[in-house]
Amino acid sequence: MSREVPVPVANEGDVQSLPPADAKALTEPFDSSLSFEVDISLPEDLTVAGGIIDQINQLKATVKVALVRRLMTQLQTEQIQTILECGLREIGDRHRRGIAPTQNTRLLLKKDYSYQDRGLSDPNQYYVYLRRRKPKLDRYIGTLFYVPQGCTLDYFLDAEGRLVFNPPHNVFQLQDCKNPAVKQLVRLLYLEPPPPDYTFDKQQNDTPDIHLHVEYLDLKTHQPIAKQVYPFPLCMHEGGRLDRYRWDVTPLTLKPIAVLHDPSDCTSVVPSTAEKLVASSHTQADPTLSLSSQAVARLSEFQPPPIAARSSQAAIKPPFNRAPTGPPPVRRVLELPATKWLTFALSNSSDTDVILKRMRLWVTWSKKAMPQSPWELIQEGTTHTLMNAHFKRRILRFSSDRSAMAFENSLPVLVRWFHDLSLAVSQSPNQRQYSAAQLQLAHSLFVEMSLPQTDPVAVLKHLFGVDFSKTLPDRR
């Protein structure tokens, strides 16, 4: 949808109210020869200063004005006159276009500061918020990639309110968790905000019209293949094109690539971790990516001709992708010895109903938000066991007659389970299937389970909202 404002005809009353110079700029026809003279006066090596100009664009308006004033003292009179004429034409264009609508909201990124307690130098993930301007209010929207080793995102808001990601910290390799042979190279371009008139109130459950613009790169040459626009945060949900549960994400740093005369000269990928990527792996691209004829022609200069497609579901495949040779990777499961259940006492035995109600709520959440790995509640007499139905792993066990809660896995594993559950609910594409109180609880759990937890009693307090103690011995 175009956001350009229709150009109205200049009103005679408005023109008369302007200063003579501005009125002249509004009414006189534009002289294209003058624009040509201005353009040819620019230095030919202006592109060399592109990085500096990008930094200037991030400055505040008052700083830009001060910088222009300072630079004008170093220019000749003719050059200053040219700048004034360009400024008058810009004023005239803005009067003809009208005043652009003001954004009621703006995009905002927040770091997950739990990385500091993990001993990392960069956040594992960044939260996307919408900030309402008047009155000020922040609304959580979703989360970008989860990077286990941490990553740096460099970004700024442009004049249109888009949250633009700066290179070289915006390129990521995505590797399929179940099929490591499938990889993608993705560059984050920018997040596009909702329309200017969009606003929100507390506990509003609609889906703002926010879009993530990305660019797919060739795994070998790192040349652009295709650009895609995805609704955010739906694209990060389960089943989305950038599904956080499907892809293992690694940040990459791409150095500027000159003309490659040798196809093997692809040393510009510098992994952010100590491990180097295997350069010889030829992988299958995302089957739904569409390539332009220019992109295919450009890539054919560096790659051999395509081979036969191996999947009937593949729509269009880049010519450089080949199926991996050799036997498929073998995934080994380590059988760990059974650990002793850690048992904690419920401080008030009358809170038993609260415990069971909360456990049933988690089962309902998991079936809605994580249908690929739902939970179930199994009752054996007075003992209720919360279990992962897919992996058959016991999460929590509650004994109502003893008013005791127990878990056999380590505390980090327990925290991770509830972190993933609360995240799936918070980013569910169908928010209307949860009440406002449930969404608030899920967000609160997500925040708490994202922080490093060392006290099991405190974790149980966060999970159930009631008090526990360590005084109860294990009587099994």
One-character DSSP codes across 120-131: -SS-S-EEEEEE
pLDDT score, position 276 = 36
When comparing pLDDT for 268 and 394, which is higher?
394
**Average pLDDT rounded to a whole number, residues 340-369:** 89
**Segment (H or E) for 269:** strand 269-271
The alpha carbon of residue 324 and the mean position of all alpha carbons in its chain are separated, in whole angstroms, by 30
Q: Which residue has the tokens 């009631």?
A: 466
**Average pLDDT rounded to a whole number, residues 18-32:** 44
- pLDDT-based confidence at residue 62 (cuts at 50, 70, 90): confident
Task: Decide if 115 contacts 150 (C-beta within 8 A).
Answer: yes
pLDDT score, position 285 = 41
Cα distances (Å, whole numbers) of residue 433 to 2, 203, 225, 368, 374: 33, 14, 38, 8, 16
What percent of the chain clears pLDDT 70, i.e. is strictly above it?
A: 68
**Average pLDDT rounded to a whole number, residues 174-195:** 93
When comparing pLDDT for 43 and 69, which is higher?
69
| DSSP 8-state class, residue 434 | S
**Whole-number average pLDDT of the chain:** 74
Q: Which residues, other chains included, contact 221 with Cβ-Cβ below 8 Å and sequence gap of 6+?
A: 257, 260, 263, 266, 299, 302, 303
Q: Which residue has the tokens 């036969």?
A: 308
pLDDT score, position 165 = 94
pLDDT digits (tens, 9 = 90+) for 94-127: 666 655 567 899 999 999 888 887 788 899 999 9
What percent of the chain clears pLDDT 90, i.e. is strictly above it?
A: 28
Q: Which residues, other chains included, contact 330 with Cβ-Cβ below 8 Å and sequence gap of 6+?
A: none
**Segment (H or E) for 163:** strand 163-165
**Average pLDDT rounded to a whole number, residues 449-459:** 87
Q: Is the pLDDT of residue 144 over 60?
A: yes
Q: Is the pLDDT of residue 209 over 90?
A: yes
pLDDT digits (tens, 9 = 90+) for 267-313: 333 443 333 333 333 334 443 344 444 443 443 333 333 433 333 33
The pTM of the full predicted model, rounded to 2 decimals, is: 0.42
pLDDT score, position 389 = 85
- pLDDT-based confidence at residue 63 (cuts at 50, 70, 90): confident
Task: Decide if 342 contacts 472 (C-beta within 8 A).
Answer: no
pLDDT score, position 432 = 86
Task: Read off φ and ψ for residue 13, nearest 5 degrees.
Answer: -65, -40
Lowest mean pLDDT among 18-27, 191-200, 280-289, 458-467: 280-289
Q: Is the pLDDT of residue 167 over 70?
A: yes
Q: Which residues, other chains included, contact 100 with Cβ-Cβ below 8 Å and sequence gap of 6+?
A: 5, 196
